[in-house]
Amino acid sequence: MAVRLSGGCLCGAVTYRLDYEPGDVADICFCGACRKASGAASLPWVQVAPSRFHVTKGQARGYASSVHATRWFCPDCGGPLYMTDDEGRSVGVTLGSLDAPEAIRPTVQGWVCERVSWQAQDETLPAYDKAPPYDL
């Protein structure tokens, strides 16, 4: 059964809702692009089908951070919100932008090969050297 969650940016100009289903992949990403985009050593995400994600207020600005992905952020405060892929398979929503970030616990870790040495790794979660598998 899906759980409806809401979130948004720091200033509140952009808000969204998503329907989280048990089994959705929630990962902690250690890649360099996530570090640069967030200003943090790692960035936790949850992957949902596009049909289960909706912007409810405002309009995010996109940045093509790679050939296959666009990162979306608030044009006013710069808060990172979500990422989409060029095939329209999934929307990766930043867990830190959720109104209730404790509602989703990460299930895997990805891009461990790019983890900075001082960033702790959760030894209880499966870790992938590159991208974790997404079953969308």
Q: Dump pLDDT digits (tens) for 23-60.
A: 999 999 999 999 999 999 999 999 999 999 999 999 99
39 located within any domain: yes
What's the CA gap between 121 and 106, in Å, rounded? 12
Strand 91-94, strand 80-85: pairing:
antiparallel
105 located within any domain: yes
pLDDT for the residue 135: 54
- Give pLDDT tens digits for 79-120: 999 999 999 999 999 999 999 999 999 999 999 999 999 999
79 located within any domain: yes
121 located within any domain: no
Q: What's the whole-number average pLDDT of the chain?
A: 95
Strand 108-110, strand 26-29: pairing:
parallel
Residue 65: CB atoms within 10 A of its CB come to 14
What's the CA gap between 103 and 6, in Å, rounded? 10
pLDDT for the residue 107: 94
130 located within any domain: no
Domain that holds residue 23: 3-114
What's the CA gap between 88 and 40, in Å, rounded? 26
Produce one character per residue of 107-133: b if its CB has 16 or more CB atoms within 10 Å, e if not: ebbbbbebbeeeeeeeeebebbeeebe
pLDDT for the residue 136: 46
51 located within any domain: yes
Query: What CATH number should be reported for the domain holding residue 23?
Result: 2.170.150.70
109 located within any domain: yes
The number of folded domains in the chain is 1
Give strand pairing partners of 57. 15
pTM, to two decimals: 0.94
